[in-house]
Chains A and B, each alone.
Chain A
Amino acid sequence: MISAGMDLGTQRVKVVILKDNQIVAKSQQISGFEPTKAAEEAFQEALQTAKLSREDIEHITATGAGVKMAPYADSTVSMMGADAKAGAYFFPSARTIIDIGAEDARAVKCDENGVMIDFVVNARCAAGAGTFIEAMARALEVELDDMGSLSLEAEKASPINASCVIFAESDVVSLIHKEEPKTEIARAIFDAMAERVSSMVLRLGINKDIVLVGGVAKDVGFVASLKRRLGTEILIPEEPLYAGAVGAALIAAKKAGRRRR
């Protein structure tokens, strides 16, 4: 049984190919201005890695903000549904999946079978999504990948109006003028973002285990702030970026299985 999952995010397209529910290939591309093309490229690359041809794929399921950009997909699944499936696949004990992408964030409550029970979404404010960290890294003039380790060096956070990306940008500029340590500014940014995300999670209640996925899960600074804020351990899969695609591929496998019978 071979299936594929495509997650067409606002920033990246992720593709995963599963063979008997094991990941055999994964690939990603920047969505850019032509997400359709990016999706096609990512898909071809994944096929090459898996040494498969398109005909070998029994079912393709697409998800993500740009789900319409993959009309050739056999089915689609909501981002929340894909998150729940992937969370339970990575960690059978998962009951809450937090997915933070470039422009949106979700908290999904699920049962032991990876079926979604409830969810909360923020797609209206950039302060709770990956874009926030990117904008702040630019304002601080540090590499995005260095933001996390920088923040871990701080013992306290700078005072900052971090409820809004636009306001935080001007605040960061003034803090730099005041020669405030960059480490403390970085910490303030992650703390503020963790505050946003945790308020979303708390609306569902703390249901352990909590799994963090999405590109931001790779950021050690954010993970540390979120753990502090939620006061609990957080599980992170090896490839958090691919969670949506894995979830979609799992759903594709299930659909293909049904069709066979």
Chain B
Amino acid sequence: METKEEKQEFWRWLEYHSVMPGKNWQNADIITAGVDVGSVGSKAVVMADGEMYSWSVMRTGSNSSDSAKKALEWAMEDTGLTVKDLNYIVGTGYGRVNVPMANKAITEIACHAKGANYIWGPTVRTVLDVGGQDVKAIRIDETGKVVSFLMNDKCAAGTGRGMEVIADLLQIPIEEVGKVSLSVTEDPKPVSSTCVVFAKTEAVGLLRQGWSKEKVLAAYMKAMAIRMSELIEKVGCEKDFVITGGQSKNIGIVHRVEEILGIKRLPVPSLEQTGLDPVSAGAIGAALYAKALHEKALRR
């Protein structure tokens, strides 16, 4: 019998794409798209007359313009839509200047603010966006405009990429880390290292001391949550509070951030029913900006 040894990639998360059931783009006047090329994930959203039509979330490859193209194509797969049918495209994210088909690039901070306002409504004041290689705490007004923000993009501590590294070390699939980390009865002391490289060494040491994987994971996530909370507190946390970006799916982080801040985030809407995905908040905001820009151009 042939045995094949394969190194499992615990960091690898599921990519997905979908179309809103019962929607027809042919009936729409304005079709716009937002493409958010993040350092880890690329997200594309297509909107028909400012309403969710289709979307995709996939891993960013080594070439960001390729990733932008692929994400948009995947969002339009089996819809009959082509790039030519799109009235306006806005690129955002750290690779926003590399979205070749975009009519304009807008910063992801503005797009996340706009997207959060669209997903949850005008009561949102504080947005925590946890991306692959950065963490942002954004204060917004009732129209979804940025009031102020703070960002860490210099250090992997507290980012999705840092989470991937620890998931890989502990050999726990990234989709399950949140649940697994909450299986401990009580949170242990957080890991003392800020740096992910040192935290990794510290985690190995804890495992050698006989700590369970779950306990080590909880200790790491607690440290991550503390770091994020510090950023939010610096910018000032005002209700309503929401979380966007890849880590919005990580209930281990969400739960701990809520606990530290003493505030609950607004619940995440059902993706099947609304098409609204906090992971795609940046792309949603970009698609909305695209609609506004197209309308402005028409008025001229």
Q: B161 near A125 (CB under 8 angstroms)?
A: no
Are A166 and B62 touching (Cβ within 8 A)? no
Interface string of B162-193 (1 = CB under 8 A from A): 10010000000000000000000000000001
Label chain A's interface by main secondary structure: helix
Any B CB within 8 A of the CB of A133? no
Chain A residues with CB below 8 A from B165, complex form: 166
Q: Which of A131, A164, A170, A178 has the most CB of B within 10 A?
A: A164
The answer to whether A164 and B62 have CB atoms under 8 Å apart is no
* Cα-based distance from A170 to B165 in the complex (angstroms): 11
| Residues on the B chain within 8 Å of A125, using CB | 155, 194-195
B154 proximal to A (CB < 8 A): yes
* Residue contact B63 to A166, C-beta cutoff 8 Å: no
B144-164 vs A, CB cutoff 8 Å, 1 = contact: the mask equals 000000000011100001100
Q: In the bound complex, how far is the Cα of B152 from the Cα of A161, in angstroms? A: 13
Instruction: Provide the residues of chain B in CB contact with A170, threshold 8 Å.
Output: 39, 133, 161
Known contacts A33-B208, A167-B161, A170-B39: does B62 contact A135 (CB below 8 Å)? no
Residues from chain A with a CB closer than 8 A to the CB of B279 are: none
* A51 within 8 A of partner (CB): no
* Chain B residues with CB below 8 A from A103, complex form: 198, 201
Q: Are B63 and A177 in contact (CB under 8 A)?
A: yes
- Whether B156 and A166, one on each chain, are in contact in the complex, defined by CB atoms closer than 8 angstroms, is yes
- The minimal Cβ–Cβ distance linking B68 to chain A, given in whole angstroms, is 15
B196: interface (CB < 8 Å):
yes
In the assembled complex, B28 has its CB within 8 A of some CB on chain A: no
- Complex interface bits, A160-184 against B, C-beta within 8 A gives 1, otherwise 0: 0101111100100110011000000
Say if the beta carbon of B197 comes within 8 Å of chain A: yes
Most buried by A among B133, B197, B208: B197
7 sample A-B contacts, Cβ–Cβ < 8 Å, listed by A number: A103-B198, A125-B195, A126-B195, A131-B197, A166-B197, A177-B63, A178-B63
> Which 7 residue pairs are nearest across A and B when measured between Cβ atoms?
A166-B156, A126-B197, A177-B62, A174-B62, A163-B154, A165-B197, A164-B156
Residues of B within 8 A of A (CB): 39, 62-63, 133, 154-156, 161-162, 165, 193-198, 201, 208
